[in-house]
Structure 1
């Protein structure tokens, strides 16, 4: 009779533990959009309000559930031990009761609590969270002092371990990349989609300096240009927004919009043209600003172009919304863009032995192309482009024919002028030590 009593106690605790495990698993791995859709379909605004309470602190609600699950798991194990002892007819617990009874309890928890709970969470997780949202939030509030204490000790352990606050974000990014790789291997994601997802993940840390058109390649008008010079420039450049400077590019005083020029030309005689009257104020941003922050600023201010300023206040380049979009979807070309052969790129030898690389190309983009040759250029915060890598490594602006070896990669300068490197050849080196010639 006692054994049967413990059997029912254990089964009840096991069922409740399985449901709570599914609920906790769903909280830690739910789809926010699906949960909101479920809430809106069933309860409308009231349901959405309940969901928002849960979404405000998902980990806190999950921790609150753990406070119930721990004693439930202990109850299952104790009930298994007592039931096994009762089945043997033992008046007192023996070591065999403790060992086999606990083993039975753990096996039941694993199969019916963990495995079945995970399946429930996977199939109906969002609906389960919504259905239990009211009691769950009430329990969360009741146990708030304990969960705050748990969070406090977790923070203490994190600080003692020396882990940074960005570890969780980095782990999320790593998990996302892992899911993308699995999706590509299974054929559910193609290479283009993978590259776009990778670019979105990196968007958070990409800076203006990494994507801007550098100062040396910036095309601009001078403040004193007359109407004829401006029309010729706009027609030849093919840009809809053009920076205008006084004396030099460090003194950009405005931005000319091609449509503003057209509007002015339809309403005024040519001899009344004054360039300064149709300029718009330029937007200056630090070159260290992240692309994500800049995109939000451009959208808020409803502008499409910004001037990147270095730490000394000089103009280091320009960046447009198109540049930012291209970081995700790749190059966007129209009839006014340069021909493909004029764009920075990598020409791979048909035999796969070497590659000719435009020195303006970023290290990351170059490595994407060099990967198929088994070659790689080192990344560093000191430079962004292939040319920057060569100049930094040699400590000077090289001449044509100069070379350097990094690991098993040999880089030879093919073309350079007094101010920068233009083209390099990248191939496998014969030696393993770094050298310069």
Structure 2
């Protein structure tokens, strides 16, 4: 190197530092690429994404290639820096070269390019993918040998490169990912997608209409009363029974009765022709499973039964769809007759209100694994029938029983956080 001028050596040193910056920045960029966006772009035909995806399929070879190049240029830079500073400062230049080059490589060859690669991975990764694809062909045997030795070392510690897991997401991870989409997905769509994910965890008894609130048509009633029930019900489908719900005959779609009624031919006999066989749903079924069952059986309403065949409640296809898209006709929490906001920050809640609905509307985290309604949760918590005015704390909320009727909690006052209740204590 004695024949080379100082300017050539300095220019070569700067080039080597830039190459070190390229290796460091491109490594960070490739490793921080969003794998799902990368897969999407590759499927869309993006050339750079396809090359990057192919490189990342064998990270051991890619890392080996990057480190091979980075270490080579760093060693060359160290040698050149020593030569340059020895020409300038003599023997003392060795120490100066070590300090100056360390600082230069740290700033310009590591920190700055790695930060840039982390902030803008795609801008750097796509061009780098072309470079590394070509380098792999040139330095293939050497990279293969380095990967073979490093993989052999990893096997001694029980690590197998080919057995590395994929990038599959769990339900909770996907829910978190949806929450981080920001403005890319509207809040409404996020809520719908999360509702779909929650179908697997929720059970039919979580959203069913309980038996005591079920309407229906009693065939033992006189015909005029049956007609009044048909004319006044807000529902399009009703169960049909004799005497009590323990003797279900079937279900009827009231819309099928309209053409018959318009012709003036609606009688008990023609009514019975429209009654369909009842469709039963076992308790404990997930909403996801039941949605598929409704689709397969071409049904829109089912009667939920326990292991003994007793009727527990009623569930419809609309009930499940509302868990995804929100309620079609019901009012928001501020106007809901079941959840009434109060001036002190509390809410008066009907005891039969489902816990899932309370959690969804008020943002609470009341447990739903042992009870389905607020009344059931209070009774489960106390293991006895409470008295009006009794207060208890559950899942960060304060609940005050305000009305008892028919051995159940008919109404309760709920403070979503303990701070609100503490402020009201006498």
Matched, 1:112 2:99: no
TM-score, normalised via structure 2 length: 0.67
Distance 1:5 1:338, change over 3 A: closer
1:261 equivalent in structure 2: 257
Matched, 1:413 2:421: no
Matched, 1:294 2:305: no
1:203–1:292: 8 Å Cα contact kept in structure 2? Answer: yes
Counterpart secondary structure, 1:259: helix
Distance 1:299 1:378, change over 3 A: closer
Deviation at 1:68, TM superposition (A): 0.9
Deviation at 1:405, TM superposition (A): 2.2
Deviation at 1:64, TM superposition (A): 1.8
1:345–1:361: 8 Å Cα contact kept in structure 2? Answer: yes
Aligned partner of 1:426 among 398, 402, 414: 414
1:162 equivalent in structure 2: none
1:403–1:410: 8 Å Cα contact kept in structure 2? Answer: no
Aligned partner of 1:77 among 67, 71, 87: 71
1:245–1:252: 8 Å Cα contact kept in structure 2? Answer: yes
- The 5 A counterparts of 1:33-52 are 36=43, 38-39=44-45
- Distance in 2 (CA, whole Å) between partners of 1:166 and 1:252 is 46
Aligned length: 386
Aligned partner of 2:391 among 404, 411, 422: 404
- The 5 A counterparts of 1:228-307 are 228-245=224-241, 248-250=244-246, 252-265=248-261, 269-270=265-266, 273=269, 275-307=271-303
- Distance in 2 (CA, whole Å) between partners of 1:297 and 1:96 is 77
- Distance in 1 (CA, whole Å) between partners of 2:306 and 2:164 is 43
Counterpart secondary structure, 1:390: helix
1:357 equivalent in structure 2: 349
Pairwise CA RMSD: 5.2
Aligned partner of 1:86 among 77, 80, 89: 80
- The 5 A counterparts of 1:68-217 are 68-89=62-83, 107=107, 108-112=109-113, 115-116=116-117, 119-121=120-122, 149-150=160-161, 152=163, 168-180=170-182, 199-217=195-213
Distance 1:248 1:17, change over 3 A: farther
- Distance in 2 (CA, whole Å) between partners of 1:14 and 1:66 is 20
Deviation at 1:62, TM superposition (A): 3.6
- The 5 A counterparts of 1:349-388 are 349-350=342-343, 352=344, 354-366=346-358, 378-388=366-376
Aligned partner of 1:345 among 338, 343, 350: 338
- The 5 A counterparts of 1:6-85 are 15=22, 22-23=29-30, 25-26=32-33, 28-30=35-37, 36=43, 38-39=44-45, 62-85=56-79
Q: Which runs of 5+ in 2 are unaligned?
A: 87-93
Deviations 1:64-98 (A, max 9, x none): 2453124413531342133122221299xx89878
Q: Which runs of 5+ in 1 are unaligned?
A: 44-49, 156-164, 432-437
1:392 equivalent in structure 2: 380
Deviates more, 1:5-14 or 1:357-366: 5-14
Deviations 1:268-304 (A, max 9, x none): 9445715543233443333333323333332344332
Deviation at 1:29, TM superposition (A): 4.0
